[in-house]
C-alpha cells in the first residue's frame, strides 16, 4: 500500500469514526433547510425560471457543501495543526501535497451525505418532484461543483488558529451563504448585492444545479467561474501549505 493510500484510509476512517462531529455537520444544513420550508412563496418563480422550492433545495445543497467544507476541512484541520500531528507527518516520507490532497478528499466525502439528505428532505417535505435519474444527476453534479467549498474549508484550516477557527468558519458560512444568494433569490436582492453574488462561487454552484432542473441547459459561464475558483483555491492551498511547512518551529 502506498503512503498516500495508507494515509487516505487512515484519515477517512478517523473521520467516519467521529460520528458526533459528522452528525452535527451533516444535520445542521438539513435542519436549517427545514426552517425555510414553511415559506408561503414555495410556488413562486424566482431568478427567472425556477419555483422557489426548487431554488431553495439547490441553494441548501450548496450551503450544505459550504458547511461541510468549512467544518470538516477548516475546524478539524486547524485543531490538528495546533496539536502537532500535521508537523509529525511532515517529517515522514509522506509527500507534502498528499497531506492536503487527502484532506480535500475526506472533506468531499462529508459533502456527499449532506447533499443526499437535503435532497431527501426536498423530495419528501420540500415539494420537489423529479425522476430518479434527475436526482442521481443532480447529486453528482452538486457534488462535483462542491469542490470550491471543500477547498475553501481546507484553506481556512491551514490559515487560522483553532481559537479563531470557530468565528471565522461560522462567519464565512453565513456571509457566503447570504451574499451568494443561498438564503433568498438573487434577483430580489439590491442591484449591488446581485453583483457580489455573481462574483461568489456559491451562486454559480447553485445556478448549475438549477440549470439541471429548469431545463435552461448548459451554463458555460457558471462552469468557468466554478472551475476557476477550484483551480485558484487549489493553488492557494498548495502555496499556503508550503509556507506553513517552511515556518517549521520558528
Q: Which residues bind another protein (CB under 8 A)?
A: 1, 3, 6-7, 10, 13-14, 17-18, 79-80, 82-85, 87-95, 245-246, 248-250
CB 125 within 8 A of CB 34: yes
Nearer to another protein by Cβ, of 231 and 243: the residue is 243
Nearer to another protein by Cβ, of 87 and 219: the residue is 87
Angle formed at CA 45 by CA 43 and CA 48, multiple of 5 degrees: 165
Q: How far is the CB of 95 from another protein (least distance, A)?
A: 8
Q: How far is the CB of 239 from another protein (least distance, A)?
A: 16
Q: How far is the CB of 21 from another protein (least distance, A)?
A: 9
CB 202 within 8 A of CB 217: no
Nearer to another protein by Cβ, of 135 and 166: the residue is 166
How many whole angstroms separate alpha carbon 122 and alpha carbon 98? 36
Of 4, 212, 185, which Cα lies nearest the Cα of 97?
4
How many whole angstroms separate alpha carbon 116 and alpha carbon 175? 24
Nearer to another protein by Cβ, of 45 and 94: the residue is 94
Nearer to another protein by Cβ, of 15 and 145: the residue is 15
State how far the alpha carbon of 238 is from the alpha carbons of 81, 109, 154, 158, in Å: 16, 20, 10, 10
**Is 147 buried (19+), middle (13-18) or exposed (0-12) by CB count in 10 A?**
buried
Q: How far is the CB of 212 from another protein (least distance, A)?
A: 37
Q: How far is the CB of 164 from another protein (least distance, A)?
A: 16
Amino acid at each position: 500500500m502506498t503512503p498516500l493510500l495508507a494515509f487516505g484510509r487512515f484519515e477517512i476512517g478517523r473521520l467516519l469514526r467521529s460520528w458526533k462531529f459528522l452528525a452535527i455537520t451533516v444535520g445542521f444544513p438539513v435542519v436549517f433547510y427545514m426552517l425555510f420550508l414553511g415559506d408561503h412563496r414555495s410556488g413562486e418563480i424566482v431568478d427567472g425560471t425556477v419555483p422557489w422550492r426548487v431554488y431553495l433545495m439547490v441553494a441548501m445543497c450548496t450551503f450544505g457543501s459550504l458547511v461541510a467544507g468549512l467544518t470538516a476541512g477548516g475546524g478539524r484541520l486547524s485543531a490538528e495543526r495546533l496539536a502537532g500531528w500535521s508537523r509529525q507527518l511532515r517529517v515522514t516520507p509522506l509527500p507534502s501535497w498528499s497531506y492536503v490532497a487527502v484532506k480535500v478528499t475526506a472533506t468531499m466525502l462529508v459533502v456527499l451525505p449532506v447533499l443526499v439528505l437535503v435532497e431527501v428532505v426536498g423530495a419528501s417535505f420540500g415539494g420537489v418532484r423529479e425522476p430518479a435519474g434527475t436526482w442521481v444527476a443532480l447529486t453528482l453534479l452538486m457534488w462535483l461543483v462542491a469542490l470550491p467549498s471543500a477547498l475553501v474549508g481546507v484553506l481556512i484550516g491551514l490559515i487560522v488558529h483553532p481559537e479563531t477557527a470557530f468565528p471565522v468558519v461560522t462567519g464565512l458560512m453565513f456571509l457566503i451563504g447570504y451574499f451568494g444568494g443561498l438564503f433568498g433569490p438573487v434577483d430580489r436582492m439590491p442591484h449591488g448585492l446581485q453583483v457580489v453574488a455573481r462574483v461568489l462561487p456559491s451562486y454559480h454552484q447553485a445556478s448549475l444545479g438549477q440549470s439541471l432542473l429548469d431545463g435552461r441547459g448548459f451554463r458555460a459561464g457558471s462552469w468557468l467561474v466554478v472551475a476557476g475558483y477550484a483551480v485558484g483555491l487549489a493553488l492557494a492551498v498548495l502555496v499556503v501549505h508550503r509556507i506553513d511547512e517552511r515556518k517549521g518551529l520558528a
